[in-house]
Amino acid sequence: MAGRDVRFHLQGGAEAAMTWAPDHPLDMLIRKLESIAHLSAEERRAIAGLPTLVRLLKAGQDIVRDDDRPSQCCLVLEGWACRYKLISQGKRQIFSFHVPGDIPDLQSLNLKAMDHSLCALTSTKVAFIPHHSVLALTARHPRIAAIFWRDTLVEAAIFREWMVGMGRRTASQAIAHQICELYLKLKAVGLAENHLYRLPVTQSDIADALGLTNVHVNRVLRELRTKGLVTIVGGTLRIHDWRELTGFCEFDPTYLHLERQAA
């Protein structure tokens, strides 16, 4: 696949570009795993050898649903996805956002029935990987199995931070904390730099993730802009003062357990 520029439109009409050029669908998975652990050349080749079925999904399209018994894992290649659950009144709770390189349903290897749903938040390209192929890979390469386990533990750490955000941080702090988290996750796989990244989720998505109303999210984003901390223009988020923003929301990136960033 030829490389392409991801262009960010800044205030004043300027542009910034980052080149994202994976040569193979599983390059994004390798990039993600190498952000939290070291992979040998042999392990990278083994992961790249997994069979995949690539599909394009529309925004809002479910990838796997509550109570499903999937036989494959889903790798996000482009776009954003989320874990969510609906209650009887039709209200949605989002548990996590997922960006390229993430396998949001890796737990389906061992938990046969889904206890939540997974959907595309934007137009999304995904790669489906059969469970039996992943299990065979981890049997041949125990270190890869350990790295997958580490990835699920990092997801659990992120979930705990979200719980703290909903339960003990103010709405402004919770949103600011999420902005910082997403920046580092995207930067780790080469999709953000210079405190700038695409934020394609809606205010409604943020509200459903943090248990807020759309009006409250809108008010917080205006407050952060007024304080000179962040701006969002055309779906692109720019952090103007990283130190001030992280201090404001008490952001400590230790829970992400990042060891390296994509070149």
**Which residues in the chain come in under a pLDDT of 50?**
1-21
Q: What is the CATH number of the domain that holds 102?
A: 2.60.120.10
The last residue of one of the domains, among 108, 127, 162, is 162
Burial (0-12, 13-18, 19+ Cβ within 10 Å), 57: buried
Q: What is the pLDDT at residue 102? A: 97
The predicted-structure confidence for 33-88, as pLDDT tens digits, reads as follows 999 999 999 999 999 999 999 999 999 999 999 999 999 999 999 999 999 999 87
The last residue of one of the domains, among 162, 187, 213, is 162
Q: Which residues of 165-192 are buried (b: 16+ CB within 10 A; e: fewer)?
A: beeebebbbbbbbbbbbbbbbbbbbbbb
Q: Are residues 33 and 156 in the same domain?
A: yes
Global pTM reads: 0.88
By residue range, what is the domain housing residue 135?
24-162
Length, in residues, of the chain = 263
Q: What is the pLDDT at residue 88? A: 79
Q: What is the pLDDT at residue 16? A: 38
- Per the structure, the count of domains in the chain is 2
Q: How far apart are CA 161 and CA 158, in angstroms?
A: 5
Q: What is the pLDDT at residue 262? A: 59
Q: How far apart are CA 36 and CA 150, in angstroms?
A: 8
Q: Are residues 190 and 61 in the same domain?
A: no
Q: What is the CATH number of the domain that holds 245?
A: 1.10.10.10
Q: Are residues 38 and 107 in the same domain?
A: yes
Q: Are residues 48 and 137 in the same domain?
A: yes
Q: Are residues 140 and 192 in the same domain?
A: no
14: which 2 tokens?
């300027």
